[in-house]
Amino acid sequence: MFQDFKFIFKKPLLIATLFFVSLFPVIYSLTFLDAMWNPYDRTGDMAFHIVNEDEGTEDINIGSNIEEELSDNDRFDWKFTGLDEAKEAVQSGDAYGYLVIPSDASDNAASLLSEQPEKVNLTLHTNPGYNFIGSIMAQQAGSELEKNIQTEITSTYTSSLIDEIAQVSDRSGEAEQAINELTEGAVALDQGLLQLQGSTAELQEGSNTLYSGEQQFSSQLNQASALLGNYAQPITGAQSQLESGAGDLNNGIGQLNSGVSELKAGSEQLSGGLQEVQSQFQELQNRMDESGLVFTSEGADAITHPIELTTETSVETDNYAQGFAPLVVAVSLFIGAITFNVVYPINKIFDKEASVVSRWISRGLLFISHSVLISSSLYATIVWIMQIDIYSHWRFYFAMIMWSLVSIIIIATMVTIFGNFGKFLGIVLLIVQLSSSGGTFPIETANNFYQSLFDVLPMAFIVSGFKDAIFNQAFNVEFSTVIIYLAVISIVLYLMILLVLWLKDKFPAYEEKINKMSRFEG
């Protein structure tokens, strides 16, 4: 029942080799997770060039403001250079991108409220051929700079508009006072015109009296002129002038009276119009007061940034390594299963006298032992060396053992049936599972073929199980479902190994064929 262990202990080199291959999962996980521990916290050494050609205006200088803002920003290694130097740096891989701020950027920004507004045209250049992920990071940096410039332009216009509205609001009090003064003046004018109209009536009455007296005087003078003869001529000439003057006075008073009436009518219209203006203006003031509008610089900033996004997550992740650990651990243990089946002679029969069941049990104990070995070493590395936060340690460790055992049994079954060709199939299975496990990009972004594999291949299940153990949240399936699914696979395949061992025992020709395939003899 322990034929495999007896064989191993007789081969010190095999012991050392098995121990070394048991470290493969540790090496893979350690190097991979450490390299991607938190890449966005290490972008400060990534060069990104800013080509500022903006000439600026009296009111705004976008290029200068961006340079000043980036001088305190350590997200990238910002370099302010000319266009030729930036192109050379990106082409040679010394920089991951550059942004060109054109010479007319500020002029175009200042024209947005003119008859012919011009947009600010920025140019972002990256080199995805050098490093695709780096180019994506550079594009994100360019997008953030674009948003900053948009915010600056919007803030400038909004602040100016708010200042103008505030001045209008401040001057509304002065306008109201002026309207009140005009209204009071119109009332005073109306009263004065009434007095003037009364005075013209008295003047008209005096003029009529004067004209009547002049008529009596003229009649008496005509009677006296017959007696006076030539002596009456000077008096008659003066009387004619008096008569003419009285007529002119009477006509002038009539015109004055007509003009005063027209002026009074106009004054009444003016007074009524001013009262209407005062009423409408007061209504406008009341509405502004009721609306509670306040025009301040803080309000301008709120209009420029009207939304504040609060991001909440279902689980907390410390870093990228913790987020990628489920996939990396699953891949590492599967690689460990492949290397074990490559090193250990699965198809070798050590004791011809041993029964099929005895050999089968021996093989199963070996699988379990190696699963515990590689799982324990990887668990210690993840928890104690890398110190990745794990919510449920027992679930994480148990899932590692189950997955390691299932992986070894899967590869061992294929090697037992197909010889060395089974090892190749194991590598193919690893590649297919990598593409359909949903451990990197969401599975919805894959095509239908890989989405269908996601529902049946074991790696997709164990990735969900590791996520459950690390974050204490069931995602695609429950943890218990994952364990049951893996247990069913391992039992079915382990029984299949028993069947193959029995076939080899009953049909030596089949066993010989498998042995030749293992020796690449056809």
**pLDDT tier at 308, thresholds 50, 70, 90:** low
- How high is the pLDDT of residue 62? 84
> Is pLDDT above 60 for 390?
yes
Mean pLDDT within 249-261: 59
> Is pLDDT above 70 for 445?
yes
How many CB atoms sit inside 10 A of residue 445's CB? Answer: 10
> Is pLDDT above 90 for 427?
yes
Give the Cα separation of 53 and 99 in Å (integer).
Answer: 11
> Is pLDDT above 70 for 12?
yes
- How high is the pLDDT of residue 209? 57
Of 141-155, 301-315, 469-483, which gets the smallest average pLDDT? 301-315
List the beta strands (DSSP E) in 23-101.
47-52, 77-80, 97-101
Query: Which residue type is seen at 306?
Result: P
How many CB atoms sit inside 10 A of residue 391's CB? Answer: 13
> Is pLDDT above 90 for 85?
yes
> Is pLDDT above 60 for 465?
yes
Structure tokens given for 36: 């991607």
Of 23-32, 147-156, 159-168, 365-374, which gets the smallest average pLDDT? 159-168
> Is pLDDT above 70 for 400?
yes
Is the Cβ–Cβ distance between 443 and 370 less than 8 Å? no
Q: Percent of the chain having pLDDT more than 90? A: 31
- How high is the pLDDT of residue 188? 60
Query: Which residue type is seen at 345?
Result: P
Give the Cα separation of 206 and 202 in Å (integer).
Answer: 6
Largest Cα–Cα separation, the chain:
189
Give the Cα separation of 134 and 118 in Å (integer).
Answer: 32
**Dihedral sign computed on CA atoms, order 76, 78, 83, 85:** negative
